[in-house]
Amino acid sequence: MARKVNLRIWRGNSTDGGLQNVTVDANEGEVVLDVIHRVQAEQMNDLAVRWNCKAGKCGSCSMEINGKPRLACMTQMGSFEEDETVTITPLRAFPVIKDLVTDVSFNYKKAMEVPAFEPPVGMKPGEPRMEQIDVERSQEFRKCIECFLCQNTCHVIRDHEENKKSFAGPRFFIRIAELDMHPLDILRNRKKTAQEDHGLGMCNITKCCTEVCPEHIRITDNAIIPMKERVVDEKYDPVRWLGSKIRKREGIL
Amino acid sequence: MSTSLERHKYDVVVVGAGGAGLRAAVEAREAGLRVAIICKSLFGKAHTVMAEGGAAASMGNVNDNDNWMVHFRDTMRGGKFLNHYRMAELHAKESPDRIWELEMWGALFDRTKEGKISQRNFGGHEYPRLAHVGDRTGLELIRTMQQRIVAMQQKDARDHGDAESYIKVFAELTVTDILKENGKVAGVYGYYRETGKDVIFEAPAVVIATGGVGKTFKITSNSWEGTGDGHALALKAGANLKDMEFLQFHPTGMVWPPSVRGILVTESVRGEGGILTNNKGERFMFNYIPDVFKDKYATTAEEADRWYTDQDNNRRPPELLPRDEVARAINSEVKAGRGTEHGGVFLDVSKRLSAEVIKKRLPSMWHQFYELAGVDITKEAMEVGPTCHYVMGGVEVEPDTAAAIGVPGLYAAGEVAGGMHGSNRLGGNSLSDLLVFGRRAGMGAVEYVKNNGANPVSDATIAKAAERIEAPFKRSGGENPYALHQELQEVTHNLVGIIRTKSEIEEAITKIADIRRRASQVTVSGDRTFNPGFHLAFDLDNMLLVAESTAKSALLREESRGGHTRDDFPEMSSKWRQVNHISSFDGTQVNVKAQALPVIPKELFDLFDPHELEKYMTPEEMAKGGSN
């Protein structure tokens, strides 16, 4: 039942590295993470890879498979051609620590910059009453497993290290949208701060984040665009504003 | 070594960043203490994220007959009365407050029509009791706690100028030793997984909340982190493990394809109306209702079906028996040749619910089967079978404070602690356990730190801990840790798995000792930078101690109860109900002794119908009627 598959795995550290060819068995139904584990157990004991649940629930095994940001645990080996060499590389937007493991601390710093949930003053535990329909909008964003594939694929930071300082990224736009739409959150101006402090305006809605989301969260349509529209309603002439943003960052598209 | 060693000083160090660890950290920080949170993986990835069904709490939002006493009774029944009564009592009483509190921290549970937190049915719970968010409740819980900690850090940044001055998360860090001086906890020692560099945390109080041991077994729903670290660390620090023979095999893990074998299929599938059938199409659970549960479960398919719409006048479907019963039933069906092609049984929800409702209530199940097995659960049945899911055994603790018995300054909460669930945990009681006892461990540690200042670690202690980490690199010619891990998983799976017998357990004990001897000589290739082979060498050591404790406890218990089934002693015995098994470590091996189970007080005894208690207790116990 097992067949031989050829992989090219990026190995190296923060300063140096390259692709290494390896041939390994793959059994029926196996995912990329299974064959990486086999390589690790049999051929490269110290091959660094992050993973936790191997069930698509924790978002640890994010990497690039044939150049596409994917979860290794949810990518079937059967999705490739029989004789195809599968190339496995670390996330490109973050600094490499070793092999397939990158330093994703950028995301935790950004998480710290989003003002926390703030319930109504004086509300006591057990008191909240919310309609299902009202919680569902935020629940969609709370499905996020923090795999950071959206952050990795986003053009604004993927090739533009200098943008990282002022751009929170799609993961945190949905966090802000979640709080903004949260029936109990009382903090005002979340959309405005998304625009002014978290770089929402730098997003040019190419929807790459939505495409890679393993949870199928409609990041662009349900979080980013509604926030942009409302910010715009409040403050800007949309066409002129968007145009100026695009011109300012030539070469990003 | 000591000149370059990274050193930290805290009031409380929490080892483990799942639900229990984070809740303990919140509690200790709120009391004004400085807290370090250590997690083995990235922040927010702990195994809690995988909890699906919900958190049990008798809020009575869906059925107002529910209250803590009903929940307490269900928990004790589920655990076959081996639970520590006080833990079950605290848990039942405090769970609702812990859930409501999460809502004040931003959690968004599914709602009832009145806008309250919705509650769903689950195995062994008399009323709909599980607060939930679709089938991703664990994610909601851990994210809420994670965001709560960020909120506290933001406040500290405003008040003290540094977000991490009072509570800091140390991610991807493995703890290798709990340090003690003068018989008391003094801190922990470990290494950063990313760099391999050593680090010491000095602290008078340590809370371990490291979760479970599933990776000891071949087929498991657990993530890689479930290697029994806290169990082994506590054991080595002089604490006891209680009732390690009790492991929960969740009845419904995926069975096909092989690469997904063991991945959890949430009990909510049955809670929402999923039925189990064998390869003859028979709904077999009706044949497996044990005597102790005879009057609580439906005996016909018609009654079982009616229950979903009228719970007051019908008994529950037997698919919702406690997990140990369902797992054994599935095991028996497969053994009798009535299993599926791949050695499982069928679980079908497609006939009861519309595709739309299934995708809404069980979204991650739909996703998981569609993407990993090519099965559309809105149209077809799933193939499922038992998978190692949870360890009921764990660190012996004082119920009210979560203090580990025998080690001043050490606390344990969540799956790593023992006693709460007796011989079998009810679904949904884990998430609430994390919150209730995480908070209590935090409170316990706070109280301890008030009366016990810093306990400095000596250079000799540090040198010893550093030497242990260095050892695998210094050896040569030893075996590969991956191969030994696989060998251990085969032994536990085949010889101390879901059905056990004396000769096999004895064989397991011999084999585990042999693997442990060889594991002490493993060698590691590569350097210290993010080196999984090196990491596994330490995890392996922990798993071996846990497996030894499990096998030795299993050998002694000559009865079948909950998550311990003996082929050679198939009956449950009221004599054995009075016994806890206590594992300790003498530096060389695990020793297990019997200890009397605490006697249930009269006021809790009186919550039960005596006819029910008679099924579990001896005539002498019944005559006494609980302690006074």
pLDDT tens for each residue of A110-121 = 999 999 999 999
Tokens of B532: 């999984």
| Residues A60 and A131 reside in one and the same domain | no
Chain B touched by A2 (CB under 8 Å) = no
Question: Residue A161 falls within a domain, yes or no?
Answer: yes
Looking at residue A231, what is its pLDDT?
A: 79
- Gap from A209 CA to chain B (nearest CA, Å): 19
User: Do B264 and B278 fall within a single domain?
Assistant: yes
Q: Is B178 helix (H, G, I), strand (E, B) or coil?
A: strand
- Is residue B24 one of the residues assigned to a domain? yes
How many Å from the N-terminal Cα to the C-terminal Cα in chain A? Answer: 45
Residue with more model confidence, B526 or A85: A85
Measure the CA–CA gap between B262 and B249, rounded to whole angstroms. 10
pLDDT tens digits along B438-465:
999 999 999 999 999 999 999 999 999 9
Same domain, A130 and A74: no
What CATH number did the domain enclosing B492 receive?
1.20.58.100
* Residue B361 among the catalytic residues: no
Residues B366, B483, single domain; the answer is no
Residue B255: CATH number of its domain? 3.90.700.10
Residues 250-289 of B with CB under 8 A from A: 256-260, 263-264
Query: Is A11 an interface residue toward B (CB < 8 Å)?
Result: no
Return the structure tokens found at B412.
């344990």
- Quick one: chain A helix, strand, coil %, rounded to 5? 40, 15, 40
What pLDDT score does B345 carry? 96
CATH (domain of A139): 1.10.1060.10
Q: A67 and A29 in one domain? A: yes
Q: Cβ(B278)–Cβ(B345) under 8 Å?
A: yes
Q: Are A135 and A51 members of one domain?
A: no
* Mean pLDDT confidence for B611-621: 95
Same domain, A38 and A160: no
**Distance between CA A5 and CA A26 in Å, rounded?**
6
Identify which of B118, B127, B20 has the alpha carbon closest to the alpha carbon of residue B73.
Answer: B127
Place of tokens 């639900």: B19
As a whole number, the mean pLDDT across chain B is 95
Buried-state track B200-237, b at ≥16 Cβ within 10 A, e below 16: bbbbbbbbbbbbbbbbbbbbbbbbbbbbbbbbbbbbbb
The string of DSSP letters for B304-317 reads HHHHTT-SSSSPBP
Helices B19-30 + B137-160 axis angle, to 10? 30
* Same domain for B367 and B398: no
Tell me if B175 sits within 8 A of B188, measured CB to CB: yes
Side by side, the strands of the sheet bearing B55-56 are B55-56, B130-131, B119-120
The alpha-carbon gap from B238 to the nearest alpha carbon of chain A, in Å, equals: 30
Considering the domain architecture, whether residues B165 and B58 belong to the same structural domain is answered as yes
Write the residue in B47, B150, B258 that is nearest to A111 by C-beta.
Answer: B150
Report the distance separating Cα B622 and Cα A87, nearest Å: 68
Task: Looking at the structure, tell me whether residues B380 and B403 fall in a common domain.
Answer: no
* Angstroms from B602 CA to nearest CA on chain A: 31
CA distance A159 to A169: 13
Residues B530, B508, single domain; the answer is yes
Q: Provide mean pLDDT across the span B48-60.
A: 95
The C-alpha of A199 sits at a distance from chain B's nearest C-alpha, in angstroms, of 20
Rounded mean pLDDT of B196-213? 98
Pairing relation of β-strands B55-56 and B130-131? antiparallel
Q: What is the pLDDT of residues A206-250, one digit of tens each?
A: 999 999 999 999 999 999 999 998 877 665 555 555 554 454 343
Residue A44's domain spans which residues? 3-102
Gyration radius of chain B's alpha carbons: 23
Q: Please indicate, yes or no, if residue A86 is contained in any of the structural domains.
A: yes
pLDDT tens across A165-176, in order?
Answer: 999 999 999 999
Instruction: State the pLDDT at residue B257.
Output: 85
Q: Which of B134, B225, B260 sits opposite A52 (nearest CB)?
A: B225
Q: Tell me: the pLDDT tens digits for A3-25?
A: 999 999 999 999 999 999 999 99
Q: How many CB pairs under 8 A join A and B?
A: 177
* Average pLDDT along chain A: 92
Asked if residue B414 belongs to a domain, the reply is yes
Which of A47, A80, A102 lies at the terminal end of a domain, its last residue? A102
The tokens for B368 are 């998981």
Do residues B259 and B243 both lie within one domain?
A: no
The answer to whether the beta carbons of residues B301 and B277 sit under 8 Å apart is no
DSSP string, B27-76: HHHHTT--EEEE-SSSTT-SGGGG--S-EE----SS-TT--HHHHHHHHH
Q: Same domain for A136 and A221?
A: yes
Q: Which residues, at least 6 apart from B85, have a Cβ–Cβ distance to it below 8 Å?
A: B76, B598, B600, B601, B604
Mean pLDDT of B385-403: 97
Domains identified in chain A, total number: 2
Cβ burial of B433 (10 Å; 0-12, 13-18, 19+) is buried
Q: What is the pTM of this model?
A: 0.94
Q: Let me know whether A28 and A86 are in one domain.
A: yes
**Which structural domain, as residue segments, surrounds residue B493?**
471-582
Domain co-membership, B289 together with B227: no
- For A55, the closest of B41, B50, B105 (CB atoms) is B50
Choosing from A82, A102, A122, the residue where a domain stops is A102
Is residue B596, in this structure, part of any structural domain at all?
no
Provide the token pair at B178: 């709990």
**Per-residue pLDDT at A237:** 55
Cα separation, B177 vs B187, whole angstroms: 9
Asked whether residue B225 falls in the same domain as residue B287, the answer is no
- Is B598 part of a structural domain of the chain? no
- From A85, A102, A119, give the residue that closes a domain: A102
Q: Is A119 on the interface with B (CB under 8 A)?
A: yes
Q: Are residues B202 and B306 in the same domain?
A: no
**Per mean pLDDT, which range of A188-192, B410-414, B455-459 is the poorest?**
A188-192
Please count the structural domains in chain B: 3
Query: Which of A30, A7, A21 lies closest to A83, judged by CA?
Result: A7
Decide if B535 touches A, using CB distance below 8 A: no
* Same domain (yes/no): A140, A152: yes
- Is B250 an annotated catalytic residue? yes
**Domain boundary residue among B432, B459, B486?**
B459
Q: In terms of domains, do A94 and A132 share one? A: no
Cα A104 to chain centroid distance, Å, stands at 11
- Other beta carbons less than 10 A from residue A166's beta carbon: 12
Is residue A253 one of the residues assigned to a domain? no
Q: Under a CB-based contact definition with an 8 Å cutoff, are residues B29 and B148 in contact?
A: no
**Strand, helix or coil for residue B540:** helix
pLDDT at A1 (0 to 100): 67
User: What DSSP designation does B541 have?
Assistant: H
What pLDDT shows up at residue A235? 58
Residue B323's Cβ-side half-sphere holds a number of Cα atoms within 13 Å equal to 35
Whole-angstrom distance, CA of residue A90 vs CA of residue A242: 33
Q: Is residue A79 part of a domain?
A: yes
Q: Which of A89-98, A174-183, B88-97, B250-259 has the lowest mean pLDDT?
A: B250-259
Catalytic residue among B125, B261, B270, B440: B270
CA A6/CA A32 separation, integer angstroms: 12
Structural contact between residues A132 and B98, judged by C-beta atoms closer than 8 angstroms: no
CA distances from A24 to A34, A75, B486, B536 (A): 11, 17, 18, 21
Mean pLDDT of B316-325: 93
Query: Which pLDDT score is estimated for B36?
Result: 98
- B569, B535: one domain: yes
Interface contact flag, B49 A41, Cβ < 8 Å:
no
CA dist B15 to A214, B43, B208, B209, Å?
30, 12, 5, 6
The helix (run of H) or strand (run of E) holding residue B610 is: helix B610-613
Q: Which two tokens stand for residue A149?
A: 């594939």
Which among B256, B482, B529 has the least Cβ separation from residue A45?
A: B482
* Sheet of B275-277, strands arranged across: B247-254, B382-391, B345-348, B275-277
Same domain? For B292 and B432 the reply is no
